[in-house]
């Protein structure tokens, strides 16, 4: 890619991340209201325009920026100042490897709907996410507060524990698709799999029989790896430290945990980081398990081919790109809704329950999944030859 | 561009390594210097087209092992001062001699005309390539490393269990 293209795409995609930040606070308030049979935030207004509560993020921002920024006595001033940024920046840069669509060629130039198409795409997100842990861990320590300290210890233990099962649970996917590149995984998920293909192997039907081809399933991660999908979701929710995994914050036990000594926009950055991470989690889940930008039974080549007959190849590519982005974001929005459902339904786990779930349930299951997946891959290779 | 990045990050790596030594008494600062050092090394790895190694450096060393250090430091609440670096003249002397010897040896090794960079295979350093090499050419070393890690885990469990019993 040329430098100018890189700059433009980085700019565009970071705007997407930043636009999500205030809107997510609105989504969270409105959805909690919906679930608790309330109307939700709708009081803030500009000249009588309430815009169904969409003014609230603006008032939040004004409040955050104008509040006094308290730095406690005995705090490590440097660490206290940079920790909110260490917590929020990794969440934003994670968007770099998320593919919003495939690559499209129109009028001689080609566009790829991903900022950095890395060979180790998923690992990049894990690596960046592990850096985010420092923001939370050091925040509690830097404030010179014992509650904060307890919060940091909980963050450190929780994030380390769940990083392991998060990484291992998706290994099965890598084995099936044979790549860690998120765009390749997206392309692979457009294919379908003949569920009854094995009957030809045993000679129960001749190749090409219609009823054998009748049942085809899309090669989505959710269908091939249903258990790891839930393990991954649980682990990555625990990484994000939102309810029900919010023991590091634990208002009722340790006041506010690791960000107890923060006020104003520095406090706001921690919340913003968590909310952006909700979007990152949804995008990653959609890209890995829910087929990315693909529509089941409708591969992208078919879409472009069909549209080309109507509008010509250039316009068809542009339209396919628009469809892809919409499909992807529809999945992302559904997953955000699902995460908010979890957040407002389940009570907080006790701390020992969090540790038990991570080490004694999720980790053994995800390791067993690797063995079973490997066995099935060999079996399928044996049958289909 | 690449040269500037190289000098910036190698300088950062060396400075943070020195910071690690200077901060013996302030454990959290020392651990943070170690993180900066690891991250700079990761950037250098990535610039050498060893992207996978670089990412693992961030994930495993910066993201897990040093977090564990910090966890222990916080659990024991080592707020500086009580972390002993007692004066041990013999060890200091030996350590200094080894450091000077290694530097001299390295300098003599590097003091020769450098070959231009060889063209590398575009496959080089990718996850697939490293996996293939691990499971074919270096199978034995890979397995031995696995057994070594298993031994470490078993040892840790035994040590922890003795304390509980």
Here the ipTM equals 0.78
Q: Which of A78, A138, A151, A173 to mutate to test the interface with B (most CBs of B within 10 A)?
A: A138
User: Where are the extended beta strands (E) located within chain A?
Assistant: 103-106, 109-112, 192-194, 216-218
Write out pLDDT tens, residues A256-282: 778 888 888 888 888 888 888 888 889
Q: Which residues of A277-293 are buried (b: 16+ CB within 10 A; e: fewer)?
A: bbbbbbbbbbbbbbbbb
- Torsion angle of the four alpha carbons A136, A142, A147, A149, in this order, in degrees rounded to the nearest 10: 70
Cis omega (within 30 of 0) on the bond before A244?
yes
Conformational region of residue A380, where left means phi above 0, alpha means psi within -120 to 50, and beta covers everything else: alpha
Round to whole Å and give the CA distance between A222 and A359.
23
Round to whole Å and give the CA distance between A95 and A103.
17
pLDDT at B7 over 80: yes
Q: Which of A123, A138, A153 sits opposite B75 (nearest CB)?
A: A153
- Give me the long-range contacts of B34-40 (CB less than 8 A, separation at least 24): B34/B66, B34/B69, B35/A134, B35/B62, B35/B66, B36/B12, B37/B12, B37/B13, B38/B62, B38/B66, B39/A131, B40/B9, B40/B10, B40/B12, B40/B13, B40/B16
Q: State the pLDDT confidence band at A153, using cuts at 50, 70 and 90.
A: confident
Does A153 touch chain B if contact means CB atoms closer than 8 Å?
yes
The token pair that represents A47 in the structure block: 């000249």
- Would you list which residues of chain B are within 8 Å, Cβ to Cβ, of chain A? 28, 32, 35, 39, 51-52, 55-56, 58-59, 62-64, 67-68, 70-71, 74-75, 77, 126-128
Percent of chain A with pLDDT over 70: 94
Q: State the pLDDT confidence band at B146, using cuts at 50, 70 and 90.
A: very high
> Chain A partners of B62 at a C-beta cutoff of 8 Å?
130-131
Per DSSP, A298 falls in state B
Is there a contact between B48 and B6 (Cβ–Cβ < 8 Å)?
A: no
Round to whole Å and give the CA distance between A79 and A341.
35
Q: Which residues contact A141 (CB under 8 A, 6 or more apart)?
A: A76, A79, A148, A149, A152, B28, B70, B74
What is the mean predicted confidence (pLDDT) over B118-143?
A: 85
Write out pLDDT tens, residues A198-252: 666 676 666 666 666 677 788 888 888 889 999 999 998 888 888 888 888 777 7
Q: Which residues contact A39 (CB under 8 A, 6 or more apart)?
A: A33
C-alpha atoms less than 13 angstroms from C-alpha of A36 in its C-beta half-sphere: 14
Conformational region of residue A191, where left means phi above 0, alpha means psi within -120 to 50, and beta covers everything else: beta
Give me the helices (H) in A291-312, please. 300-311
Nearest C-alpha in A relative to B56: A127
Q: State the pLDDT confidence band at A364, using cuts at 50, 70 and 90.
A: very high
Nearest C-alpha in B relative to A140: B74
Q: Which of A131, A178, A359 to mutate to test the interface with B (most CBs of B within 10 A)?
A: A131
Q: Which of A119, A124, A141 sits opposite B28 (nearest CB)?
A: A141
The per-residue pLDDT of chain B, averaged, comes to: 83
Q: Which one, of A225, A260, A55, A47, lies nearest residue A152 by Cα?
A: A260
For chain A, domain boundaries:
70-384
> Chain A partners of B78 at a C-beta cutoff of 8 Å?
none
Position A4 scores a pLDDT of: 64
Cβ atoms within 10 A of the Cβ of A202, count? 8
3-class secondary structure per residue, A205-238: CCCCCCCCCCCEEECCHHHHCHHHHHHHHHHHHH
Q: Which of A118, A119, A160 sits opposite B67 (nearest CB)?
A: A160
When comparing pLDDT for A104 and A5, which is higher?
A104
Per DSSP, B140 falls in state H
Position A209 scores a pLDDT of: 65
Nearest C-alpha in A relative to B76: A153
Position B88 scores a pLDDT of: 74
> Chain B partners of A156 at a C-beta cutoff of 8 Å?
67-68, 70-71, 74
Does A137 touch chain B if contact means CB atoms closer than 8 Å?
yes
B52 and A152 in contact by Cβ < 8 A? no
Range from A76-80, A187-191, A291-295, B75-79 carrying the lowest mean pLDDT: B75-79
Q: What is the radius of gyration, based on Cα positions, of chain A? A: 23
> Chain B partners of A180 at a C-beta cutoff of 8 Å?
127
Position B87 scores a pLDDT of: 64
Q: Chain-centre distance of CA A372, in angstroms?
A: 26
Cβ atoms within 10 A of the Cβ of A314, count? 14
Write out pLDDT tens, residues A100-145: 877 777 777 777 778 888 888 888 888 888 888 888 888 888 888 8
Is there a contact between A268 and A22 (Cβ–Cβ < 8 Å)?
A: no
* Angle value at C-alpha B136, between A224 and A366, nearest 5 degrees: 30
Round to whole Å and give the CA distance between A270 and A64.
12
Q: Chain-centre distance of CA B115, in angstroms?
A: 27
A119 and B58 in contact by Cβ < 8 A? no
Q: Which residues contact A204 (CB under 8 A, 6 or more apart)?
A: none
Write out pLDDT tens, residues B87-124: 677 888 898 899 999 999 988 888 777 777 777 777 77
């Amino acid at each position: 890619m040329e430098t100018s293209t890189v700059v433009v795409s980085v700019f565009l995609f970071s705007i997407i991340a930043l636009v999500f930040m205030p809107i997510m606070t609105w989504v969270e308030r409105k959805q909690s209201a919906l679930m608790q049979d309330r109307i939700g935030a709708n009081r803030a207004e500009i000249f009588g325009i309430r815009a169904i509560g969409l003014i609230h993020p603006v008032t939040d921002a004004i409040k955050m920026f104008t509040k006094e920024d308290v730095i406690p006595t005995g705090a490590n001033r440097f660490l206290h100042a940079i920790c909110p940024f260490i917590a929020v920046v990794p969440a934003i840069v994670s968007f770099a490897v998320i593919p919003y669509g495939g690559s499209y060629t129109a009028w001689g130039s080609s566009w790829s709907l991903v900022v950095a198409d890395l060979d180790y795409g998923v690992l990049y997100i894990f690596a960046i996410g592990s850096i985010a842990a420092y923001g939370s861990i050091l925040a509690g320590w830097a404030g010179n507060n014992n509650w904060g300290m307890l919060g940091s210890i909980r963050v450190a233990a929780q994030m380390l524990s769940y990083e392991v099962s998060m990484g291992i649970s998706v290994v099965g996917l890598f084995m099936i698709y044979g790549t860690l590149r998120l765009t390749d995984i997206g392309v692979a998920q457009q294919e379908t799999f003949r569920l009854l293909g094995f009957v030809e192997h045993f000679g129960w039907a001749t190749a090409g029989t219609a009823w054998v081809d009748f049942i085809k399933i899309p090669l989505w991660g959710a269908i091939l790896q249903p258990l790891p999908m839930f393990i991954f979701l649980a682990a990555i929710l625990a990484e994000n430290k939102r309810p029900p995994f919010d023991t590091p914050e634990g208002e009722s036990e340790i006041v506010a945990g690791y960000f107890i000594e923060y006020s104003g926009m520095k406090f706001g950055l921690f919340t913003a980081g968590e909310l952006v991470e909700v979007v990152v989690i949804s995008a990653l889940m959609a890209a890995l398990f829910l087929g990315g930008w693909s529509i089941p039974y409708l591969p992208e080549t078919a879409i472009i081919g069909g549209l080309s007959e109507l509008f010509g190849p250039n316009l068809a590519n542009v339209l396919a790109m628009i469809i892809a982005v919409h499909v992807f974001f529809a999945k992302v929005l559904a997953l955000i809704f699902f995460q908010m459902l979890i957040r407002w339904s389940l009570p907080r786990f006790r701390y020992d329950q969090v540790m038990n779930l991570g080490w004694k349930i999720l980790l053994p299951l995800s390791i067993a999944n690797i063995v079973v997946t490997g066995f099935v891959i060999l079996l399928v290779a044996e049958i289909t030859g | 561009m690449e040269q500037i990045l190289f000098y910036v990050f190698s300088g950062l790596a060396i400075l943070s390594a020195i910071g690690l030594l200077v901060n013996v008494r302030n454990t959290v600062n020392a651990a943070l210097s170690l993180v900066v050092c690891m991250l700079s090394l990761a950037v250098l790895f990535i610039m050498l087209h060893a992207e996978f190694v670089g990412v693992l450096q961030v994930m495993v060393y910066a993201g897990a092992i040093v977090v564990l250090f910090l966890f222990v430091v916080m659990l024991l609440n080592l707020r500086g001062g009580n972390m002993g670096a007692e004066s041990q003249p013999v060890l200091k002397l030996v350590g200094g001699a080894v450091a000077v010897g290694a530097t001299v040896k390295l300098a003599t090794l590097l003091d020769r005309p450098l070959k231009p960079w060889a063209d590398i295979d575009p496959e080089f350093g990718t996850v697939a390539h490293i996996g293939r090499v691990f499971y074919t050419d270096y199978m034995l070393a890979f397995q031995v490393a696995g057994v070594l890690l298993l031994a470490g885990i078993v040892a840790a469990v035994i040590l922890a269990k003795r304390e509980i019993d």
